Each structure stands twice: as structure tokens, then as C-alpha cells.
Amino acid sequence: MGKTTGFMEYQRQTPAECSTLERIKHWNEFSVPMEEEKLREQGARCMDCGTPYCHVGRVLSGMASGCPVNNLIPEWNDLVYHGNWEVALKRLHKTNNFPEFTGRVCPAPCEGSCTVGLVGKPVTIKSIEKAIVDRGFAEGWIVPEPPLTRTGKKVAVVGSGPAGLACAAQLNKAGHSVTVYERADRIGGLLTYGIPNMKLDKKTVQRRVDLLAAEGITFITNTEIGKDISTSQLKEENDAVILCGGSTQARDLPLEGRELSGIHQAMEFLTLNTKSLLDSELTDGQYLSAAGKDVVVIGGGDTGTDCVATSIRHGCNSVIQLEIMPQSPLSRQAGNPWPEWPKVLKVDYGQEEAASVFEQDPRRYLVSTKRFVGNEEGHVQELHTVKIEWTRNEEGRIVPVEVPGSEEVFKTQLVLLALGFTGPEETALEGLGLERDERSNVKAEFGEQKTNVEGVFAAGDMRRGQSLVVWAINEGRQTAREVDRFLMGASNLP
């Protein structure tokens, strides 16, 4: 590294953000770009460690450790420090098709395994990544690069989320004719309708989609495979089919009173909001409004946080977020050593905003929902809960046990279920005769990505289950390489 003592001379800094009370008035991204000098200092903190775990991309203790797309992080940190931004961009694009997405929404497992973080605060890898690609677009360095020749092979990609887009981008580079099918009215899948605009501006997504289209990829929207086009037709018309439809079967909460109105899946809430925002700036009213309501979000992950932040922007009366798990510790515990992902308390943007508006963190830990209670019109008005403790039963399993006398009733007119997903939907899979794993995902060996049906491959959440955007990009790239090898007998794709 050019600054071998940088990690001792400079403190970690992250981009400033608009104040919470200001940013809840709009739907725009609220991160303030850092000055170049500050970014170069942050790049200088990369310490030239012997083994840069930041880019190994392994799964340790069931969670990602290091970058799943194996970004060449020390290289572009050093290039940024020396002011070689265009070269840094080339290094970044060698491993990541969409750094403008991961630089905004990835939880940064690279930072969790940064060597500097062993004795201090890790390098601001995610912020530097975002700065590199944003500068690349601003300077005009990122332009369409269509392939010089075509192979004559036709490939269909089902689903336009990060896995589908990454797979399509790589196969197009190899010269194949790629068509991406999306059932929604806009391309992007999870990136467009699963992530709120203030986390990932949809103009950023559309900018990349337009670039891919200029490079020769065909995008077809409002088309559901298995409904508008049969799977057999798709297979007959293409030399290979890649399934990237995601894990979209939402986990439900089948309790007493679940049939009441006012109880919705989180993704329905978020999707309708983003669509209405893009269509009409919310003037069409075609969304689930939290305005003036007492909102209860059940689920403590990123989707739950997005529901909290969206409800606040609507002008909710109150919002709480229920988690069945205990609060995470403030620092790493002995059973969670570096370079594992640090399982520590995280205060995300939604919780920050709720604390500013309502003067308290919205999260309630170790809470289990018992029932929903409605009014005479059949609309939810109460949520009944009980506190739980996690204890080991006679068989040695950790199970929740209710705490006597801990029942509580929450007033609510809108309940949002953010409980994760159980697997892919059946529509796009019917008729193909695909084998499924024990979790109902499409069965395909990681790395090979091929299913039991000749010429059909699977990538992303549809294959691995609900996961990170960066893992989806990883799988899209891997699948493209295997499809290219299947079609041509060999592949030069990375």
C-alpha cells in the first residue's frame, strides 16, 4: 500500500447523512458524498494485511465472511488513495457487475472481516465502492460495451433481480443473445420493488438497465413464465434457460384473527408504495397508507426496518417493531470471533428515524404474537403478545418458552408481516419437472448451477433461498460461466 501507516494515522469516517427529521419528508437517498481528500484518506487505512479476508467470500457459522463476489478491495483502496479513480473502477467492475447497487444496499460483510477491525474500526469499504462507481458514471467512464460478435445461441433469463441481471450481463458479454423476462411492469426485481427508494434510488437501477439494453440485452416486462408463456415454449425457443425468480413465497403468521383486514405482508406494502411513488409520486392512492395509523411491524430484519421507515414517511401515528429474538450484544462475543460476521446490535436508518420522531427505538425484543383482534367491521385493532425466553428442552434444542404474566396488548390499525420467505413460487417451475431441495428451492449444485433438466439452470434466491444481493450477483456470474460452457464447450467468463 502507498500509505503503510494509514490505518494508524486516520480514523474511520463514513459519509454524512441528512438529518432524520429532514429526510423523512422525502423519498430520496440521504447520504452526502464525501470529499475526495477524505475518501483518499479512508483508502489509505487499508493496511496491506498478509491475508485480506475482506475479499475471500466464505461462509463461516452460516453467515458471509468477506465479499461474496471477491472484490479486489485492497487494490482499489490503494488506487483511490493514489487518485487513480478510473483504474479503480476497472478493478471494481472485474468482479462486480453492479457496484452502484452493492455500494448502497449490501450489509458489507467485507467490513466485518477487515483486518483493521481486529483492533479498531474497519475500513469504510462500502463507501469507497459507492464513490468509485458513482464517479465513473459522473465522469462518463461507464459506457455501453456490446460484444463484437454473436454466437447465434439464444438464452432466456427468468427474473430481473440482481442474479438475473448479472447472469444476463455476463452471457451477453460472451456474445449470446439474451432475453430477460420480468412479470412486473419494471425491470429490477428486488432492486426495484423490494428496496425503498431512499435506500436505492430507482433512477440508479434504470440507469444500469438502460446500459444493459444498449449492450444488446432484450427486456420483456409484464410477462409471467408459466402463465403468459409456458415453460415448455420457453425451453423450446432457447438453447438454455436460467431461473432467477427469487424466493418470493412470503412466510405467513397463521394465528387467530389473521383473516382480519389491515394485516399485510411487508413486500405487498413496500411494492405498492414504490410503484405508486414511481407512477404518480403517491398521488394515485394505489398503495397501503400508514398515515395516522398505529403500525406494528412483525420481524426484525432489513425488510422490517424498511417498513418502519416507509410508515414514518407516510405520517404514521406510531410504529413498533416486534422481534422474537433477544437484542444483540454491543460488541463481539467469544463465540463470534473475527473474521465471522459480527453479530452485534445494529441501529439502522429506520430505527434512527423512529427514535427521532417518537423518542424511542421502535424495537421490542423477545416478543411472540399470540392473536389478532378486530373491531365490528372486521378490521384489526389489537395485537396480543407475550414475552418469551429461549431455553434448552429435554432433547437439547433451543426453544421459546412463554413468560407467565407477560401478556401485552398493542393498539394497531396496520400490521406488517416481515418474516422472511419460504421459497420460490410454483408458477415458473410447473411443467419443468425440476427437483427441489428440502427447503423447496430449485435443486442445483452451487458452482455448477445446473438443474436435473438438461439446459435449465438456477441462480440466486430461487436456488439458495433468501439471501443477500451480493450473493445473488455471485450466483448470476457463476451461472453465466456454466451456461457459456454448456453452450460452447468452454468458457472465458470470469
For residue 325, what pLDDT is reported? 96
Quickly tell me which residue has 483492533 as its cell.
119
Mean pLDDT, the chain, whole residue set: 96
Give the pLDDT band of residue 461 (cuts 50, 70, 90). very high
For residue 50, what pLDDT is reported? 86
Residues 89 and 182 in one domain: no
What is the rounded CA–CA span in Å between residue 334 and residue 428? Answer: 45
What is the rounded CA–CA span in Å between residue 73 and residue 26? Answer: 33
Q: Is the pLDDT of residue 7 over 90?
A: yes
Q: Is residue 270 part of a domain?
A: yes
Residues 374 and 444 in one domain: no
Residues 413 and 428 in one domain: no
Q: Is residue 147 part of a domain?
A: no
pTM strictly above 0.85: yes
**φ and ψ of 369, to 5 deg:** -80, 135
What is the pLDDT averaged over residues 267-277?
98
Q: What is the 3-state secondary structure (H, E, C) of the chain?
A: CCCCCHHHHCCCCCCEECCHHHHCCCCCCCEECCCHHHHHHHHHCCCCCCCCHHHCCEEECCEEECCCCCCCHHHHHHHHHCCCHHHHHHHHHHHCCCHHHHHHHCCCHHHHCCHHHHCCCCCCHHHHHHHHHHHHHHCCCCCCCCCCCCCCCEEEEECCCHHHHHHHHHHHHCCCEEEEECCCCCCCCHHHHHCCCCCCCHHHHHHHHHHHHHCCCEEECCCCECCCECHHHHHHHCCEEEECCCCCCECCCCCECCCCECEEEHHHHHHHHHHHHHHHCCCCCCCCCCCCCEEEEECCCHHHHHHHHHHHHHCCCEEEEECCCCCCCCCCCCCCCCCCCCCCCCCCHHHHHHHHHHCCCCEECCEEEEEEEECCCCEEEEEEEEEEEEEECCCCCEEEEECCCCCEEEECCEEEECCCECCCCCCCCCCCCCCECCCCCECCCCCCCECCCCCEEECCHHHHCCCCHHHHHHHHHHHHHHHHHHHHCCCCCC
What is the pLDDT averaged over residues 325-343?
94
Q: Is residue 162 part of a domain?
A: yes
The predicted-structure confidence for 200-211, as pLDDT tens digits, reads as follows 999 999 999 999
Residues 274 and 408 in one domain: yes
Residues 448 and 372 in one domain: no
Are 447 and 427 spatial neighbours (Cβ–Cβ below 8 Å)? Answer: no
What is the pLDDT averaged over residues 401-429?
94
For residue 428, what pLDDT is reported? 76
Which CATH number fits the domain that encloses residue 273?
A: 3.50.50.60
Residue that terminates a domain, selected from 138, 163, 189: 138
Residues 410 and 296 in one domain: yes
Residues 170 and 26 in one domain: no
**Residue at 403: amino acid letter:** V
Give the pLDDT band of residue 97 (cuts 50, 70, 90). very high
Residues 338 and 392 in one domain: yes
Long-range Cβ contacts of 145-149 (<8 Å, 24+ apart): 145/173, 145/215, 146/172, 146/214, 146/215, 146/216, 147/172, 147/173, 147/174, 147/175, 147/215, 147/216, 148/175, 149/175
Q: Is the pLDDT of residue 256 over 90?
A: yes
CA 473, 478, 482: angle at the middle one, nearest 5?
145
Residues 313 and 369 in one domain: yes
Q: Is the pLDDT of residue 462 over 80?
A: yes
What is the rounded CA–CA span in Å between residue 102 and residue 473? Answer: 9
The predicted-structure confidence for 214-244, as pLDDT tens digits, reads as follows 999 999 999 999 999 999 899 999 999 999 9
What is the pLDDT averaged over residues 274-293?
98
Q: Is residue 402 part of a domain?
A: yes
Which CATH number fits the domain that encloses residue 83?
A: 1.10.1060.10
Omega prior to 339 cis, within 30 of 0:
yes
For residue 48, what pLDDT is reported? 84
Residue that terminates a domain, selected from 388, 417, 446: 417
Residues 204 and 67 in one domain: no
Residues 200 and 329 in one domain: no
Residues 312 and 394 in one domain: yes
Q: Is the pLDDT of residue 1 over 70?
A: no
Domain residues for the domain of 53 are 6-138
What is the pLDDT averaged over residues 308-317?
98
Q: Is the pLDDT of residue 430 over 90?
A: no
Q: Is the pLDDT of residue 402 over 70?
A: yes
Q: What grid cell was written down for 349?
A: 436508518
Residue that terminates a domain, selected from 364, 399, 417: 417
Q: Is residue 134 part of a domain?
A: yes
Q: Is the pLDDT of residue 173 over 80?
A: yes
Q: Is residue 356 part of a domain?
A: yes
What is the rounded CA–CA span in Å between residue 137 and residue 144? Answer: 12
Q: Is residue 330 part of a domain?
A: yes
The predicted-structure confidence for 12-66, as pLDDT tens digits, reads as follows 999 999 999 999 999 999 999 999 999 999 999 998 898 899 998 889 998 899 9
Query: pLDDT above 90 covers what percent of the chain?
Result: 93
What is the rounded CA–CA span in Å between residue 74 and residue 125? Answer: 9
Q: Is residue 447 part of a domain?
A: yes
